[in-house]
Amino acid sequence: MPAPTRPASARPVSARLAPTRLGVAFLGLIVVTLIGCINYALSLGYGITFLLGGVWVVAAAHATRAGRSLEAALDAPAEAVAGTEAAFTARLSHRGGRRGPGLTVRVQARAGQGQPRVTVWVPAGGTLTARLPVPAGARGQLTLTRPEAVVLDPLGLWEVRRDLPPPEPLPVFPAPERDAPSPPVRSVPGAGEQDRRVSGDEEFSGLRPYLPGDSPRQVSWRHAARTGALLTRETDAPAGAAALALNWADTAALGDPEARLSRLAAWVGAARRAGTPFSLNLPGRALPVGAGEGHARAALAQLAAFPPVPAAPLPPRPRPRPKKLPPPPLPGAPLRFTLFALAVALAPAALRQPWWLTALIVGVLGYSAARTRVARTRRRLPAPHPALLGLAAGAGLVLLNASFGTLLGRDAGTALLGLLVALKAAETRTRRDARLLALLGVFVTLTHFFFGQGPLAAAHALLSVGLLLAALVAWTVPPPAAPTPAHSPLRPAAALTLQALPLAALLFVLFPRPDAPLWQLPVQDAARTGLADQVSAGDFASLAQNRAVAFRADFAGALPDPAQRYWRGPVYEAYDGLRWTQVRVPGAAPSLDPFGPTLSYTLALEPSGKPWLLALDTPTALPPGALLTTAFQAVTPRPAATRTRLSFQSRAARLGVREDPGRLNFALHLPEGESPRARALGLSWRTLPPPERVEAALAFLRAGGFTYTLTPPTLPQRDRVDAFLFGTRAGFCEHYASAFAVLLRAAGLPTRLVGGYLGGEPGLGGDYLIVRQQDAHAWTEVWLPGQGWVRVDPTAVVAPARVNAGLDTALTRPAATAAPPPDTLRRAALRLDALQTRWNTWVAGYDGGQQRALLARVGLGGVGGSGYLVAGAGLLALALLPTLLTALRRPRPADPAARLLDDLTRRLRLPRAPGETPGDYARRAAQKHPAQAAAIAAAVAAYHAARYGLHPGAAELRALRTAVRRVRRRG
C-alpha cells in the first residue's frame, strides 16, 4: 500500500516547455542541412529537412501532452539518519489510455549543494513508484527545493518541467554510535496500570490527524475514503514500574556534542528495538516516559534539533575514474539497433566508394555490434584502443587521397565522412555518443542526394531517417531494472513522421527557392559520363553503349522532326592529327541572322560537370547567367552539380556569314605530314565550287563501301585518317566527322567538328524527348561563302537511319527511314520514364522556376506577395492544427471510474491539481461553484463507491455516470 501524503494544494502547477540539448543539436542539424540544400539546390534534401523540422515541431506537441498526462507527487521517508541517503518516494501515474505511448520521466530536486535525480519509464495508463535517494549529510532538517518532474517526448528533443509540491522538511536524526555502551539503568517510579499509561501499540485509544512519519498501518483508510482526510489510530500501553532514563549528563565523558548526541541516538535505538519505555532529558527540554514508534521518533527529532545544528557539509568530490577502468557498457539492444540504422544510412555509398573502404566500414560496424553481445564467460569483446582507431583514420586518409587525388569535393568528402562516422561508432561509450551517432547518420543520409534524387533515393532516405529516429526513441527510454518495456521504438518514430508530413509538404511547396547558390564549392571530383573536352576515335563509340539519360526535353508545342534534333554542344576547332580539341580563337564576333519560327522547350539536364549547355539550332533566349560564345556554343559559368531545369528558345539561323578571317584560317589548319593520301584527295577538289567540294566528299563516303559500327578496328597513331578512308572503312560518327573535316580542310574549306546529341526517344504521350548518352553524336560545320557555317553530317550518308530512326536501328538497318514501334517491354519502360519525368519535374527538379510557375497557376502571385503571405499563413495554420490539437488534448484515464471523474472536471472547467484527492477537489469545486455543491458532493461520493466500494460493478458506474451528468456544464 502506498505511503500516505498530505493533501495537495490547489495552487496551479507550472509547466515549462523547452528543448533538450539533443533538441538543440537536432535543430542545428536542420539548419545546417537547410543551408546545404539551398546552396546546392537539393530538392529532395529540402523534403527530408522539412520532414525533420516537422518532427521537431510535432515532438514539442507530444512533450506538452506528455506533461499533461503525468500525475506526480514526492513523499518524504519516515525518517533519515545523518551520513546515509534519505529515500524520497516519487509516485508517478500516467493518466492516458493503455494503448498510448509510455512516458520517460526524470524526477529531480535540489538538496543543499547537490541535485539528486532518477529517470524512469512509466507505462501507458500505469503507475510507478520510484526511489529518489537524497544524501543526508548532517543532522538537522533536510529540505528539498525546486522538486520537479521532467517529462520527455518520445525522441528526447523536448522536455516539460512540472513543479511538484515540496514535501515537508525531513528531520535528519544523528547517526547512532557504533558499539555504544549500555545506558545506565534507573528506576522510574510508576503508579500502576490504573493510574498511568504510556504510548504503545497494544490498545486503541482514539484518532488524531495524520503526521508525517506515521506508519501506514496506523492510518484509518476507511475513514479517509469517506471524508478524504487522513487520520491516524492512536494506541497506548500500561506504564511499567521501571524505565530507562536517558540523560544528557550521562554522556559528559565524550566531550564533543555531536558524539554525545550520537550515543544518545544509539540508546534510543536500542530502547526502540527492545520496546523498553524511556525518558529523555536534554538541556532545556525533556521528554517524559513513553514507548513505541512515535515516542522514539519524537526523541530522535529532539536530538536532531538540538542546538547548535551543524551546517550541511559540501558533497564529496567524485573520485576520478581510473584510466584503466572502462565506463560501464551501454545496453546492447538499443546500441545494436543504432548500428543497424547507421549501416542502412551508409549502404548506398558502397556503390561508388572503393571496395576496401566498404570492407573497413562493415568490419568496424560488425565488431561494434559483436561487442554488445555477452559471451558465455560473461565477458565482452575488448574495446578497440584509441591508438588503433587513430591509425585506421590516418590510413584511410592516405588511401582516400590516393584513390581520389584529393580529400575535398563530393566523392572523396562523402567517403571520408562515412569512414569517420564508422570510427565514431567504434568508440561510442555513452548515451550522448549514441544519440550523436544517430544525428550523424541523418547527415550522411542527406549527402546521398549529391549523387541522385530519384524515387529510390527518396525511399532509402525515408527508411534511413525513420530507423535513425527510432534509434533516438530507443535511447530516450531509460534502462529498466525489469526487462525492456514491451513496445517497439519504430511505432513512436513512425507516428511522429506521419504527423510531420503535412507541415513538411507545405514547406516543400512554399519555402522560397533561390536561383543562385550562396557560395561556390566544388562538388564534382571527376567528369560524369558524357561529352568531353576533346574528341578522338572511339570516344563516342564508348558512349553509345551507355543508356543513361543525358537530359529530357519538354516542348511547348509539337516535337521537332528527327532531322532537326541536333543538340549542339562543344565545338572542336583544333586538330593535331590524333584528336580534336576546343580552343579560344581570338577575333571579332561573327554575324548571327535568325529566321523561321521560334521553338520553346525546357531541358532537364543531368549533372555532367561541364560548362556547356545543349540547344537545338541556334538559341535566341538563354537561361539566366548563360551566354553564347563566338563559336555559337551555349555555356554557363556555373556547371550544375544536380539535375537542373533550363528553358530555351531557338530558331534556325545563318551562322557567321560575316566571320573573322583569323578564325577561318585557323579552321583550315592541318598537321604537316599527316594522312597524305587524304590530303591529296582533298586537294584534287579545290578546282570545284565550294558546294560541289562538299558533295564530292559526301559522294566518296557514299560510294566507298563504308560501314557504321560500334566496334571498328583500331587505327594507328600516325596517318589514321588514311587508314580509315583507304583501309578499315568501318567506324562510328567521330570517325566519319573527323575524316570528312580533314578532306574538306585539304580542299580549302574551313571546317570544324561539333559535338552534341542527335535524336531522342519520344516519351509516353509524345510531348517530350528522352536523350540518352548513347545518342551522343559528332558532325561537321563547313563555312561556305554567302551561307556561313553550314551543318553537314557525313554519318547520315553512310547510315541514314542514324538520323531518322536512332542508334539501335542504325546499327542493324542503316538504311531504315523510321524506328519500329515500341514493343510491350519498351512501352512499359516508357511508362516508367514518364513517372520518372514527373518525379523530376515536381519533386527532384522543383526549383525557383517551378515554384513561381505553380504559384502563378494557382493565383498566389510571386514569392513574398500579399497573396502568397496570406495563403501561406492560412495553410500553415491548417498544417499545424493537428499538432496544436495534440498538444491541447487532455489525456483520458484508463480506469472507467477515473474517466468519469475526469468528465466531472471537464464539465466544471476546473482540472484537478496533481496529487489532489477527490474529497479535496470536491471542497474546492464547491467553494468555486456553491450553487452546485450538493451535486458535486454526490458525484464524488458516487466515485468513492464505484472505485473503493466492497463490490464495485456496473451498477455503481451507472450511478456515477448519472451523478456526473447532473452537474451542470460550465460555459
Return the amino acid letter for 652.
Answer: A
Q: Give the C-alpha separation, 347 to 123, whole Å.
A: 35
Give the pLDDT of residue 9: 37
What whole-number distance in Å separates Cα of residue 774 and Cα of residue 808? 9
d(CA 741, CA 260): 115
Please give the Cα distance from 434 to 411 (Å, whole number): 26
- CB atoms under 10 Å from CB of 443, counted, come to 16
Nearest C-alpha neighbor of 875 from the set 583, 550, 403, 505: 505
Residue the block writes with cell 498510448: 100
Give me the pLDDT at residue 948, please: 79
* pTM for this entry: 0.78
Q: What 3-state class would DSSP assign to 548?
A: coil
| DSSP class of 805 | T
- Cell numbers placing 800: 541514314
**Which residues partner with 650 through β-bridges?**
599, 619
What one-character-per-residue DSSP string does 65-122 give?
HHHHHEEEEEE--S-EETTEEEEEEEEEEE-S-TTS--EEEEEEEEBTTB--EEEEEE
Q: In what order do the strands lie in the sheet with 84-94?
A: 70-75, 84-94, 127-136
- Contact between 844 and 834 (Cβ < 8 Å): no
Asked if 36 and 28 count as a contact pair (C-beta separation under 8 A), the reply is: no
Burial class (CB in 10 A: 0-12, 13-18, 19+), 11: exposed
> How crowded is residue 836: how many other Cβ atoms within 10 Å of its Cβ?
17
Question: Which DSSP state fits 478?
Answer: P
Instruction: Record the cell numbers describing residue 338, joined without a space.
Output: 543504432
Question: Which of the following is catalytic: 62, 735, 777, 944?
Answer: 777
Tell me the torsion sign for CA atoms 514, 519, 520, 522: negative
Amino acid identity for residue 877 in this structure = A
The SS3 assignment for 567 reads strand
> CB–CB of 798/708 below 8 Å?
yes
Residues 32 and 54: beta-carbon distance below 8 Å: no
Residue written as grid cell 536523350: 771
- Give the span between the Cα atoms of 306 and 339, in whole angstroms: 59
Rounded to 5 degrees, φ, ψ at 146 are 50, 45
Output the CA angle 335-339-340, nearest 5 degrees.
Answer: 115
Cβ atoms 299, 265 nearer than 8 A: no
Look at residue 661 and give its three-state secondary structure.
helix
Using CA atoms, how far apart are residues 91 and 339, in angstroms rounded to an integer? 35
Residue 733 known to be catalytic:
yes
Enumerate helices (H) and strands (E) in the chain, giving the number of each.
Answer: 28, 34
Predicted pLDDT at 526: 44
Q: Per residue in 651-699, pLDDT tens?
A: 999 999 999 999 999 999 999 989 999 999 999 999 999 999 999 999 9
Residue 171 preceded by cis peptide, ω within 30: no
SS3 assignment, position 265: helix
For residue 530, what pLDDT is reported?
Answer: 65
For residue 233, which of 209, 207, 210, 211 has the smallest C-alpha distance?
A: 207
- The active-site residue out of 75, 719, 722, 793 is 793
Cell readout for 636 is 554557363
Taking the C-alpha atoms of residue 503 and residue 505, their distance in angstroms, rounded to an integer, is 5
C-alpha span between 757 and 760 (Å, rounded) = 8
| Torsion sign across C-alpha atoms 247, 252, 254, 258 | positive
CB 38 within 8 Å of CB 253: no
Beta bridge partners of 106: 119, 150
> Which cell goes with 717?
597513331
Q: How far is CA 652 from CA 275, 527, 620, 933, in A?
A: 115, 31, 9, 92
Length of the chain, please? Answer: 971
**Rg value, the chain, Cα:** 43
DSSP letters spanning 415-432: HHHHHHHHHHHHT--SHH
Closest-CA residue to 151 (of 161, 166, 141): 161
- Of 617, 719, 733, 902, the active-site residue reads 733
**209 Cβ neighbours under 8 A, 6+ residues apart:** 229, 230, 231, 232
Could you tell me if 32 and 475 are in contact, meaning their C-beta atoms sit under 8 angstroms apart? no
Q: Which of 233, 236, 174, 230 is nearest to 202 (CA)?
A: 236
pLDDT at 750: 96
Taking phi over 0 as left and psi of -120 to 50 as alpha, with beta for the rest, 179 belongs to left
Closest-CA residue to 72 (of 134, 163, 9): 163
C-alpha grid cell, residue 419: 569512414
- Check: CB of residue 63 under 8 Å from CB of residue 17: yes
Distance between CA 881 and CA 57 in Å, rounded? Answer: 12
Segment holding 646, helix H or strand E: strand 644-655
Question: Which residues, including other chains, have CB under 8 Å from residue 724's CB and lie 6 or more apart?
Answer: 537, 715, 731, 735, 739
Mean pLDDT by groups of 10 residues along the chain of 971 residues: 39 72 95 91 92 95 86 86 89 72 84 81 80 88 88 92 87 90 68 46 62 67 68 61 79 87 90 87 87 87 86 56 60 89 95 91 91 67 84 89 84 91 90 93 94 90 96 82 58 92 93 77 50 76 76 90 91 92 88 91 85 89 90 86 84 93 94 92 94 95 90 87 92 92 95 93 85 91 95 92 79 76 82 85 83 86 84 86 76 75 84 76 88 89 82 82 86 58
How far, in whole angstroms, is CA 401 from its chain's centroid? Answer: 30
Nearest to 802 by CA among 830, 768, 774: 774
The CA-based angle 469-475-479, given to 5 degrees, is 155
Cβ neighbours for 217, distance < 8 A, ≥ 6 positions apart: none
For residue 656, give the nearest of 565, 790, 793, 792 by alpha carbon. 790
Single-letter amino acid code for the residue at 423: L
Measured CA to CA, the distance from residue 129 to residue 116 in angstroms comes to: 16
**433: buried, middle or exposed (CB in 10 Å: 19+, 13-18, 0-12)?**
middle
Q: With b meaning 16 or more CB within 10 Å and e meaning fewer, what string describes 314-349? A: eeeeeeeeeeeeeeeebbeebbbbbbebbbbbbebb
What torsion do the CA atoms of 801, 807, 810, 813 make, to the nearest 10 degrees? Answer: -110
- CA distances from residue 915 to 10, 57, 88, 231, 468 in whole angstroms, order as listed: 10, 30, 16, 18, 37
d(CA 302, CA 296): 10
Q: Is 793 a catalytic residue?
A: yes
Classify burial at 436, counting beta carbons within 10 Å of its beta carbon; exposed 0-12, middle 13-18, buried 19 or more: middle
